[in-house]
Amino acid sequence: MLMQKINFNLYHVPAVRPPGLEQLRELSQSMGLQCTDDDLSVYQEYVTGTLHSYDRISRLVGPSLPVKYARTPGYRPSLEENTLNGWYWKCDIKGAGQGKLAGKTVGIKDSVAVAGVPMVNGSKLLEGYMPEFDATVVTRILDAGGNIVGKTNCEDLCCSGSSFTNVTGPTLNPHDRSRSSGGSSSGSAALVAAKEIDMAIGGDQGGSIRIPASWCGIVGLKPTFGLVPYTGACPIEITIDHLGPMAKTVYDCALLLEVIAGPDGDNDSRQPRNYQVPEYTKVLSTDMKGKKIAMITEGFTCCKQNVQDIVRNTALQLATKDAIVEEVSIPLHKDGVTIWAPIITEGGFNCIYKENGTGCHWKGFYPLSIQESLTRGFNLRPDDASDMFKAMMLFAAFIQKNYQNKFYSMAQNLNMMLTAAYNKVLEEYDVLLMPTIPFVAIDLPKMGCTLKDRLYSGIGMVANTAPFNSTGHPAISINAGTSPEGLPVGMMIVGRHFDETSVLQIAYAYEQLLNS
């Protein structure tokens, strides 16, 4: 018996329904176009013909990211198993039997996709989403023998420098549970500090690796922009997104960087194509002879006096190991956070809200399932967005309605000047040095606090961290000491683009000096 051939075209629903004349008339009026009905009829015919391309695209099967290692979905940990609220989800994904990360337990920030494991990026808007792909950094960790043991809590859409906006509640600082652990990579830092995991992946758009590293007393590195592929992670703004390593020691931070760094082919066009990743762990050294360190005046004067004193004394200890430590002024550093603000505010609004959570105008792999899930969340319950993101939405929408792209463009132009100002000093010095955060970990907002309290608790700590997201320089936070309250104080070391080696060497030298 012959099987009847079915013409599936008869049953195919168009990917995009053609616009009606009334829809085109409304669009024409809203954009100030003076189209007649006769004009609109011609445009309707033309547009309908163009839609064949969209229909064809909807039928073609695009590429995906590989999922190479077996896993089960894991489980949501109980309160007894999650005393710091650092975990969003627990799992147990074992990678290759051997490699640089063999025996290491790794947490993955919940803004980074792990196939088959629930992911919310800290937000109610993504509840129910489960990625079908592994982010590139996840595959690289598993290929290197790492054991991924869970998704670490992060702030709602990663839009906070404190640790209280997550859909599951605040992540607590292991040194003082009444205080913030920092954000947005809050769970990654808290769990590393508490020794529940060896290392973790963090994300950083304004300090989100370095803030929690500073306040929890661990090591956190924001690499050079483009060194680590961002493929498969939720962005905020394409020009300032970074993924990076967080660990208890500089050595482990360097080890994880070795594994996750390097080009990702056509998946991420923000990366250099032929960059060879150094073996960072093999160049770590305590030899500081001839190393030149610039303490940036403006990076100190924005800080509380006790933080200034601790970091300055720590930096001067490096001089006892034959490093040259000098104070240098970069006046434009004071405007660094000002330059960053329109980029993250308007760029973040466009990327997350207007462009479906993945941005546009860049070449690479677009995680369509994240787009679909976040769009559904915004359509169904937009008021579930965090206070911080609502503030971004309202302000950015106001600016763009009245000034279009003017201030974003001005900020990106000024960012070239800021980058040049740092580079000029880095021509003479190996690294720049300053406190990571102007003050120690703040108290978590109390139950019933005002909206004003919540907003100002979420973003006021980025004066030194945010500028280097705009400029893309590598920046590491290491613990410089302890405040009188017993809280960690971070010291930030910043290097030339793609000179993570110098940054890690000087951080390692200080770490060994501290432990000697």
Q: What is the pLDDT of residues 389-411, one digit of tens each?
A: 999 999 999 999 999 999 999 99
Can you give the pLDDT at residue 9? Answer: 59
Q: What is the pLDDT of residues 107-152, one digit of tens each?
A: 999 999 999 999 999 999 999 999 999 999 999 999 999 999 999 9
Can you give the pLDDT at residue 141? Answer: 98
**Confidence check: pLDDT of 45 > 60:** yes
Can you give the pLDDT at residue 1? Answer: 47
Q: What is the mean predicted confidence (pLDDT) over 358-381?
A: 95
Nearest to 432 by CA among 311, 328, 309, 289: 328
Check 109, 151, 222, 291 and give the catalytic one.
Answer: 109
Let me know if 344 is exposed, middle or buried by CB neighbors in 10 A (0-12, 13-18, 19+). Answer: buried
Three-state DSSP state, 9: helix
Catalytic site includes residue 109 = yes
Cα 86 to Cα 168: distance, rounded to the nearest angstrom: 10
Secondary structure string (H, E, C) spanning 414-440? HHHHHHHHHHHHHCCCCEEEEECCCCC
Cα 135 to Cα 112: distance, rounded to the nearest angstrom: 6
Cα 494 to Cα 95: distance, rounded to the nearest angstrom: 33
Q: What is the mean predicted confidence (pLDDT) over 353-366?
A: 93
Number of neighbours of residue 214 by Cβ within 10 angstroms: 32
Catalytic site includes residue 178 = no
Cα 63 to Cα 78: distance, rounded to the nearest angstrom: 37
Q: What is the pLDDT of residues 406-443, one digit of tens each?
A: 999 999 999 999 999 999 999 999 999 999 999 999 99
Q: Walk across the sheet containing 475-482 and list its strands.
A: 87-94, 147-152, 105-109, 199-204, 242-247, 219-222, 475-482, 488-495, 431-435, 292-296, 324-328
> Does the domain at residues 79-337+407-515 carry the CATH identifier 3.90.1300.10?
yes
Number of neighbours of residue 70 by Cβ within 10 angstroms: 8
Q: Predicted confidence band at 515 (pLDDT cuts at 50, 70, 90)?
A: confident
Residue with tokens 């434009």: 332
Q: What is the mean predicted confidence (pLDDT) over 62-91?
A: 96
What is the Cβ-side half-sphere exposure of residue 157, based on CA atoms within 13 angstroms? Answer: 29
Contact 88, 151 (CB under 8 A): yes
Q: Predicted confidence band at 4 (pLDDT cuts at 50, 70, 90)?
A: low
Q: What is the mean predicted confidence (pLDDT) over 309-330?
A: 94
Q: How many residues does the chain have?
A: 516
Can you give the pLDDT at residue 8? Answer: 53
Contact 355, 371 (CB under 8 A): no
Catalytic site includes residue 184 = yes
Three-state DSSP state, 304: coil
Q: What is the mean predicted confidence (pLDDT) over 22-49?
A: 92
Cα 281 to Cα 167: distance, rounded to the nearest angstrom: 37
Helix or strand holding residue 153 (H, E):
none
Q: What is the pLDDT of residues 470-506, one digit of tens each?
A: 999 999 999 999 999 999 999 999 999 999 999 999 9
Check 111, 184, 457, 477 and give the catalytic one.
Answer: 184
Residue 386 has what DSSP assignment?
-
Number of neighbours of residue 9 by Cβ within 10 angstroms: 6
Mean pLDDT of all residues in the chain?
A: 95
CA 113, 117, 119: angle at the middle one, nearest 5?
Answer: 55
Q: Predicted confidence band at 246 (pLDDT cuts at 50, 70, 90)?
A: very high
Q: How much helix, strand and coil, in percent to the nearest 5, is found in the chain?
A: 40, 15, 45
Contact 267, 175 (CB under 8 A): no
Percent pLDDT > 90 in the chain is 90
Cα 71 to Cα 76: distance, rounded to the nearest angstrom: 15
Check 208, 386, 457, 477 and give the catalytic one.
Answer: 208
Query: Structure pTM?
Result: 0.95
